[in-house]
Structure 1
Amino acid sequence: MDGLNILPLAVTMMVGPQIVSAVILVTTPRPVRVSLAFLTGVAAATTVGVAVMSALAGVLDSAVDLGGSSDGGSTGKIIQYVLVLLLALGALKNWFRRETVEPPKWLGTLMTADPRRAFTVGFLIILLMPSDLVVMMTVGVNLQQSGASFVAALPFIALTVLIAAVPLLCFVLFRRRVRPAVPRIRDWLNTHSWLVNIIACLLFIVLILT
């Protein structure tokens, strides 16, 4: 995708409850099966999300010219600047609520998740997460501005799934070393979810502005 660094985009997709879910699933009794189901859900949701956002960007482009990706005053750029404002407000909200923010209750239920539930969580956690919708909209707008086909988004989708798979890969490759550390990592991510969300917002803001 011309003009976009897909690595920060893919990282932003998984920062927050998304990566926490992936970490929790490797602590379940059947970590490989449920994690693979989770990754399948993430892949399906990202593919669907990018396709839908690209289609919406196409409809918008037909009504209002989005302009080129290098045009700082184009409608497409204005949309991205609005997204920056929303993300900045989200980061401030997380900062001011940092003392009271608690992880979603559904995260605790993943400890006993089966493959079906893991797939459902992987699918919905992408399509219902505002930050991920913002990222996928940005990808869709960029595809329209650069005149690229959906194929150009495949590296982004693949990299998103790869980052989601990092906890599982670490578990499989370094099981003896990773297993004792996973619960501590999971607990830290749970108690510092506000910080993780702020980092995600700031990362995406920097990505858009640069």
Structure 2
Amino acid sequence: MDGLQILPPAITMMVGPQIMSAVIFVTTPSAVHVSLGFLGGVAVVATAAGVALAWGLAAAPGNAVDLGSRDDNGSGGKIIQYVLVGLLAASTAKNWFGRATAEPPKRLGTLMTAGPKRAFKVGLLVILLMPSDIAIMLTAGVHLEQSDSGYERALPFIALTVLVAAIPLLARLLFHRRAESAAPTVQEWIRPMAGSSTSSPARSSSS
């Protein structure tokens, strides 16, 4: 995955509950600590370990499966990547056409009281349990194996994925006062998803 090729998959990795979780975490009283826990789960365990595991799976068959050259569009490696991209596209299309009746996961509303440890776990699970993210990581693993590249070739993709996940936190830090003012509004919007009638957590100047 070279150059601008890493941008679409990095964005796709964080679309949906992933980026929504990041947004919720920046509205919590300990926004920075909680968000950093989330980013740690996304980066260190989920994405980095996920790509490494996918690379290992792609390399496991050894010479039994010939992935061919990455420049050959008819090679085994390219066909596998096309299949994975097709599955990703089908999943995206399903979510798009079903968006009118789809409801956000109710667990999102419970994240407003999460601490750093729970945020770390959420960062791990929202990547490793999402079929679309698994397809992207498998594609990256096959690409690494087919091109006979080292793991360092995946680092830009991992870094960009984390950067996309960090956008809500960066916005919070950049627009500190406005972000604090908007936090209760975001919380009230999320609260019905959890079926909660409790009052919003008190504002905090922590950033």
TM range (shorter): 0.7 to 0.9
Check conservation: 1:41, 1:122, Cα contact below 8 A. yes
Which letter does structure 2 place at the counterpart of 1:46? T
Aligned length: 190
Aligned to 1:97: 98
Check conservation: 2:40, 2:120, Cα contact below 8 A. yes
Distance 1:108 1:62, change over 3 A: farther
Q: Which has the larger radius of gyration?
A: 2
User: Does residue 1:5 correspond to 2:13, yes or no?
Assistant: no
Aligned to 1:78: 79
Check conservation: 2:25, 2:31, Cα contact below 8 A. yes
Distance 1:183 1:61 in 2: 54
Which letter does structure 1 place at the counterpart of 2:166? A
Taking only the aligned residue pairs, the percentage that are identical comes to 63
Distance 1:100 1:2, change over 3 A: closer
Q: Which moved more, 1:112-121 or 1:9-18?
A: 9-18
User: Does residue 1:31 correspond to 2:37, yes or no?
Assistant: no
Distance 2:77 2:183 in 1: 41
Distance 2:34 2:178 in 1: 21
Aligned to 1:111: 112
Partner of 1:5: helix, strand, or coil? helix
For residues 124-160 of structure 1, give each alpha carbon's deviation from its aligned partner in whole angstroms, at most 9, with x where no partner exists.
1111111111111111111111111111111111111
Distance 1:132 1:104 in 2: 17
Runs of at least 4 residues off by over 4 Å: 181-188
Long gaps (5+) in structure 1? 192-210
Task: State the shift of 1:92 in Å.
Answer: 3.5
Aligned to 1:56: 57
For residues 80-109 of structure 1, give each alpha carbon's deviation from its aligned partner in whole angstroms, at most 9, with x where no partner exists.
222233223323422443232111121111
TM-score (norm 2): 0.83
* RMSD after superposition: 2.3
Q: Which moved more, 1:80-89 or 1:41-50?
A: 80-89
Alignment of 1:1-210 (within 5 A): 1-2=1-2, 5-44=5-44, 45-181=46-182, 187=189
Aligned to 2:205: none
Partner of 2:60: helix, strand, or coil? helix
Distance 1:4 1:177, change over 3 A: closer
Distance 1:84 1:9, change over 3 A: closer
Check conservation: 2:84, 2:136, Cα contact below 8 A. no
Distance 2:139 2:62 in 1: 13
Distance 1:11 1:139, change over 3 A: same
Check conservation: 1:13, 1:160, Cα contact below 8 A. yes
